[in-house]
Structure 1
């Protein structure tokens, strides 16, 4: 197993600062948040860091903050891998609804580095035992996460690579809240489960149409409206279900790409 690179931030005074940038935690009422506050630790997650591998006991739960994003990745015996779901500041990775032994089924890998809040899963379970509101919130979040995974199965089977690529870029932009996505085409190819040359061809087509540009390890979305038109319906389906299931987890606006 790859050893975690996660390091605590300089001071846990930053816990409160980061807490408001995770939409799931920010939706909590003060009495419920107080059950978690003493046990939350501010950490920095690094690109490529593996939070857990299949079969690991998930002893810690992570809440990505700001633009941090991680993926659940399914790894085959051949070594090939593909993404099953992504999690950013709208959610959490770890022991969301389970109790007791929590073996991971997938790898959890950081795609976009940045701050996160971390809690021992046992502490989270204790808090849920003490609050029906917390139990309900995390159960509904698990439902929204499952919907994303189910939709991905259908999307991968039925939709073109270009539509899937557009969907992935939109989903990532929703999480990083920026038109600039710090991700290489190689990493994008791994997430989509295809060869890098295949993604390069799709990216060139999107660039030629003025939808994106890319350089030096980042992809910039230039025209979100047209990118939405090129994407399959899966992005909007997952988003609409999330908004229905978790109406209190408020969305945040998307920043526009800079000129140039």
Structure 2
């Protein structure tokens, strides 16, 4: 019997067979090109996105023009979970940070399926809460931790979500990730490179020492990882408890 996962996306692969069949006919493939805008703040989200590869960045735009990342969604989850359960008006912008591919589904179809299944609704709530937990932790992190530890955390998280040690990120994108100025990002990236944790050249980053980045990162990386395990993989969390 074939035990291969039905999808490289964690949300889809975690669904029961019955729940997956509710949405399978409505799934469509989509390319995620770098800097592609999926929705702007105050727009109505039309589709949910379930990345196979690539990373989606949730971004807040401030009045003076600054852009600050508040969360990332990758192959482990779904963008549009809470929108499928209620108000679909976007509270923030969503932009492709790392290019890749995804499955998409019309939000109306996902909403209809969720109305037919308690377990599907529960899965959507759990994934929505996981993103909310990440947003909360990011707020505390940006207010309290050093630029170096924040960049280490974000690079580790991007690696986890994209499944690759090689990432293409502009200085502007990294500045948004950690809520800092571009010149600060350049200095800190060079510090991490001098420590042989990363190789960084013209926006191309290769993570060369994961353990070193983990030691440099703040507590928030481990906290978000633990919260995701508890919410998205409750059986693993129960076994580890």
Runs (4 or more) in structure 1 with deviation over 6 Å come to none
**How far apart, in 2, do the equivalents of 1:225 and 1:98 lie?**
38
Task: Judging by fraction of residues, say which structure has more helix.
Answer: 2
Corresponding residue for residue 39 of structure 2: 52
Contact 2:28 2:104 in 1 (8 A): yes
Q: Is residue 167 from structure 1 mapped to residue 153 from structure 2 by the alignment?
A: yes
Gaps in structure 1 of 5+ consecutive residues: 1-16, 251-260
1:210 counterpart residue number? 196
Measured after TM superposition, the shift of residue 98 of structure 1 is 4.7
Which of these residues, 138, 143, 166, is aligned with residue 129 of structure 2? 143
Which residues of 2 match residues 125-144 of structure 1 at below 5 A?
A: 125-144=111-130
User: Structure 2 CA distance, aligned partners of 1:85 and 1:110?
Assistant: 12
Q: Does 1:235 align with 2:221?
A: yes
**C-alpha displacement at 1:49, in angstroms?**
0.8
The worse-fitting range, judged by mean Cα deviation, of 163-172 and 190-199 is: 190-199
Q: Which stretch shifts more, 187-196 or 154-163?
A: 187-196
Cross-structure match for 1:244:
230
Report how far residue 18 of structure 1 moved. Answer: 10
1:96 to 2:82 alignment: yes
81-90 vs 173-182, greater mean Cα deviation:
173-182
Q: Show the counterpart of 1:23.
A: 10
**Change in 2 beyond 3 A, CA 1:100/1:165:** closer
1:33 aligned residue: 20
Question: How many Å apart are 1:190 and its aligned residue?
Answer: 2.6
In 1, distance between residues paired with 2:27 and 2:52? 13
Distance 1:100 1:142 in 2: 12
| Contact in 2 for aligned 1:59/1:95 (Cα 8 Å) | no
**Residues 95 and 141 of structure 1: CA distance in aligned 2, closer, same or farther (over 3 Å):** closer
Query: CA 1:244–1:112 in 2, change beyond 3 Å: closer, same or farther?
Result: same
Contact 1:24 1:249 in 2 (8 A): no
* Pairing 1:71–2:43 present: no
Question: Bigger shift: 153-162 or 97-106?
Answer: 97-106
Distance in 2 between the 1:159 and 1:190 partners?
Answer: 15
Between the aligned partners of 1:230 and 1:61, the Cα distance in structure 2 is 34
**Aligned with 1:48: secondary structure?**
coil
Superposed displacement of residue 184, structure 1: 2.4
Residue 92 of structure 1 and its aligned partner are, at CA, apart by 1.2
RMSD (CA atoms): 1.8
- TM-score, normalising length: structure 2: 0.91
| Structure 2: 5+ residue stretches without partners | 237-241
